[in-house]
Structure 1
Amino acid sequence: MKHKPAGMQASRRHFLRTAAALSTLGAAAPFALNLATLSSAAAATAPSDYKALVCLFMYGGNDQANTVLATDPDSWLQYQAYRATGTPDAIALPPAGGAGGVLPIAPANAQGRSFALHPAMQPLADLFGAGRAAIVANVGPLICPLTLAQYQARTLPRPPKLFSHNDQQSLWQSYGAEGAKFGWGGRMGDLLASSNGQATFTTVSAAGNTVFLSGKSVKQFQMTSAGALSIAGLNGLYGITAANNPLRSIITSGGSHLLEQEHASIVSRSIDAQSVLAAQLPPASALLAIPPWINPNTGQAAANPLAVQMQTVARVIAARNGLGMKRQVFFVNLASFDTHDNQRVNQAALLSKVAHALGYFDAALANLQGTDMRAQVTTFTASDFGRTFTSNGDGTDHGWGSHHFVIGGAVKGGDIYGEFPPLGLGHQCDVGSGSLLPQIAVDQYAATLGKWFGLAPGDIADVFPNIGNFATADLGFMA
């Protein structure tokens, strides 16, 4: 066979891709009619309101057993037996009512038990009591439902590379272990970006690059508290005015090489996006000021970087009308939850930052430049994995399932969704050392958010390919 020239190869590949795409439209109707139908359907489903999802990722694997606690007598006995070793390194928290004791909450679905939150999470306990925060129990990556016997016998598929930080972070945010290309936040953006006046700002990270926001077509927009970072020298170089500045021409000239052209395209897109956002983004001083964060271990005031990220998100939401936005997905994070050591001290500071930032964000959205946006914005937590119920001395080791929070005015708050697992060892959810076998899949957790966000059932099946393996795609925690 003769070797085909590169141009012919590329043309052939383009033709095959196009033909394959057209084949899915159906052969019974003319192509033009199908296009018209698709256009009408898109117009009919284009949202007229505004909604935003905010993923708060706790990197390192947050310990769920000291975050949401079952405090009924039987549960508390188990908790004390495994987490209070009688040494200064014990990781058990004090009971409610005493100094530094756990914070009681009263979920509607108490399941015959009583519950509390970590003592450093008062702002989140307040949101739960006000009905704007819910708990989803024992969530984790799953391919299909698993019993303990099935897990142990390996008779059904289970997620790859369990208990590995990088891989489980990727599984939570996307469809596979480390190296995955697309995240479910980005895929949601792919499907809804057409409703936005500025598609560039469909998926926005206030915390650097993340696979969660990577779509097949949308590209995540990364920013800091200073806004969209500009390229130095564009607004004046060696006395040359911005209008006559040759630097922009130099860095946006594509050249003949494909890499040069791609680089020039990215730089041009970045410059244009920075200019558009800068014109619409209100300064931090125009929003509710971040209240001081008090370190629960020292009593000293300090900066809370997570609250600053949340304020950055609020500023972008405040610019929604000027940017023509209808649907946005955001990403913020906080690191250092890998509490193998000194967990009592380290987790207290971390969870205090989480609760402080969430409390601030709720207050900022309550009057965002004169508008209450809490019903339009839903924040949810995620983390690599939960941790073992047993202590390793003064910390805990890598686990699997964990408890998570969903916060916002559209949340059916003040409740726990999913069956809260037994405490201790040897129960039906214990895969070793009290590490929890998840009873709710990340797919179900995310699909419930996606339905509220505006995804149709077919879109949900596209974004979450394993959702059909589970009994429900809606856990009921969104209004």
Structure 2
Amino acid sequence: MNDQITRRRFLGGLLAAAGSSAAPFALNLAAVGNAAAATATDYKALVCLFMTGGNDHYNTLLATDPESWREYLRLRDTGDARSIALPAVGAAKGVLPITPKTSQAGRSFALHPQLTGLKALFDAGRAAAVANVGPLIVPTTRAQYLGRAVPLPPKLFSHNDQQAVWQASRPEGARVGWGGRMADMLRSSNGNSSFACVSTTGNAVYLNGQYMRQYQIAADGELASIDGLNGNVYAGTAPLRAIVTGRTAGVIGSAYADIVDRAIDLEATLSSALVPGGAGGVPAPPPFIVPSTGSSSVNPLALQLQTVARMIASRNKLGMKRQVFFVNLGSFDTHDNQKVRQADLLARLSHALSYFDSVLGSLVGTDMRKQVTTFTASDFGRALTSNGDGTDHGWGSHHFVVGGAVAGRNIYGTMPEIGLGHAHDVSQGSLLPNYSVEQYGATLAKWFGLSASQTLEAFPNLVNFTQRDLGFMIA
């Protein structure tokens, strides 16, 4: 193996593993992108909001027609304080009714009581739900799943593997995600592609491409830097930068120097361009009230979205036309105390999405809501049956898409029957997905600007599905 290939692989591995805001960088492809960027006048951003741990979709988007509700209570209401069933529509702190534009055979639906902000976005037409999404390789029936008659996604029900499958169509160990692949294909839209893929929550395989490497920034937008970088050390004889970027013999030493040198330059570029938070910039999130305690708190998800908004507000100075972001809300693995824990988490989700929509509505004087689309993802859904005071790992789940370009106030896809033994139940109400993650992602990719052939390249299993646009984005 020659030195160039060895060096390239080393660089890719080191970048993918990097975790600080100063270390990661994207390959600078300005030379091939400047001509296209000079004529591009539009801007679009996709924000992946990952609910790590596996959100319980059954208590997030609920079917409330009498037959569905009876079966829901039968399987979830244990009749004591450990019950995970939510109060009915109209009850104290009951679920929040929503009215989709498209009816579904006399059924009715509602959101979790803590999703007040998301309900307001849904009712305003800037949010939609997509029913029963999950990893699939080919369209699959229950009989085919039970008989293992078709290829199935690898390592179902495993946290780490399904997080990777959602983000990259491959289990744990995947190196390239579909967010990064999209950024690869649209890299010529950006004058500087170093900030095309941005994470506020550490390394995310979703953002890695063949060419793109994610830029990781702290959740609160604080930039890491090296103090006294241009000052002299060793009795005033050597600038510190020359020391930390000095090359040594061998592949590793040279590659390390390249990374540090580029990281220093990127930090300086972003530091000079980044719109501030607070007065004169992107306003801080309002206080968050924790439902279980009533105390006021800082919402870490809202802080991440404030940082995303600051990056978007800096798009012109950074030369950006297409950006992909990754934010995270954790602790959704609710095997116990689910009713309290999920309520706090969904309240954070709703508070953050409402704040982000408000900020984008007047981002440094410009309404950016039609140009930014946020979508949820998670390891998997959860089982319908209660395990006492929580739920076990599932498969398919319901998700939300938010933004001014969303064909909102609707539920896309037929909501599965509530109960056991039906066409989508693979075990204890764990749902066989109706839509694949790749169909979900392809719909977003089309809005983002990928051609049909590029979309097939970004989503390797999409070729197996005839429906490649689920219709929840406005053309």
TM-score by length of structure 2 reads: 0.90
Are 1:436 and 2:434 matched, yes or no?
A: no
Distance 1:344 1:188, change over 3 A: same
1:265 is paired with a residue of what secondary structure?
A: helix
> CA shift at 1:186, angstroms?
0.5
- The alignment of Structure 1 onto Structure 2 pairs a total of residues equal to 444
CA offset digits 1:93-128 (Å, max 9, x no partner) = 001112111011111123021110000110000000
Give, in whole Å, the separation in 1 of the partners of 2:287 and 2:184: 38
Compute the RMSD of aligned alpha carbons.
2.0
Equivalences for 1:19-418 in 2 at 5 Å? 43=36, 47-111=40-104, 112-224=106-218, 225-234=220-229, 236=231, 246-285=239-278, 286-418=281-413
1:34 is aligned to none
* Structure 1 Cα separation of the partners of residues 160 and 97 of structure 2: 34
Q: Which residue of 2 aligns with 1:475?
A: 470
CA distance in 1: counterparts of 2:101 and 2:315, whole angstroms:
35
| Residues 269, 44 of structure 1: alpha-carbon distance in 2 compared, 3 angstrom cutoff | closer
Q: 1:237 to 1:302 in 2, by over 3 A?
A: farther
Runs of 5+ unmatched residues, structure 2 = 9-31
Following the alignment from structure 1 to structure 2, what is the Cα–Cα distance between the partners of residues 472 and 46? 33
1:245 to partner: Cα distance = 6.1
Matches of 2:412 and 2:393, distance apart in 1: 24
Cα pair 1:175 1:182 within 8 Å, conserved:
no
| TM superposition shift of 1:233 | 3.6
| Separation in 2, partners of 1:227, 1:257 | 34
Matches within 5 A, 1:422-433: 422-433=417-428
Deviation for aligned residue 1:84: 0.6
Whole-angstrom CA distance in 1 between matches of 2:396 and 2:84: 19
Distance of 1:392 and 1:442 partners within structure 2: 27
Partner Cα separation in structure 2 for residue 388 and residue 45 of structure 1? 51
Q: Is the 8 A contact 1:284 1:311 kept in 2?
A: yes
* Alpha-carbon distance in 1 for matches of 2:314, 2:37: 25
Structure 1 residues 417-468: Cα deviation after superposition (integer angstroms, max 9, x where no partner):
0111001111000000000000000000000000000000110011001111
Matching residue's letter, 1:348: A
Q: Tell me the distance in 2 between the aligned counterparts of 1:253 and 1:239.
A: 15
1:28 matched to which residue of 2? none
2:456 pairs, out of 456, 461, 473, with 461
- In the alignment, is the contact (CA less than 8 A) between 2:383 and 2:391 conserved in 1? yes
Does structure 2 conserve the Cα–Cα contact (< 8 Å) formed by 1:280 and 1:322? yes
The percentage of counterpart residues that share the same residue type is 59
Residue in 2 that maps onto 1:26: none
Instruction: Report the AA paired with residue 291 of structure 2.
Output: P
Q: Is the 8 A contact 2:37 2:190 kept in 1?
A: no
SS at match of 1:284: coil
TM-score in terms of structure 1 length? 0.89
Q: Give the superposition deviation at 1:254.
A: 2.1
Aligned mates of 1:280, 1:329 — CA distance in 2: 18
2:440 is the counterpart of 1:445? yes
Query: How far off its partner does 1:269 sit?
Result: 1.1
Inter-partner Cα distance in structure 1 for 2:306 and 2:108: 34
- Inter-CA distance 245–386: structure 2 relative to 1 (3 Å threshold): farther
Counterpart CA distance in 2 for 1:270 and 1:78 is 56
2:339 corresponds to which letter in structure 1?
A: R
Change (3 A) 1:454 1:240: farther
Partner of 1:24: none
How far the C-alpha of 1:256 sits from its partner, in A, is 2.2
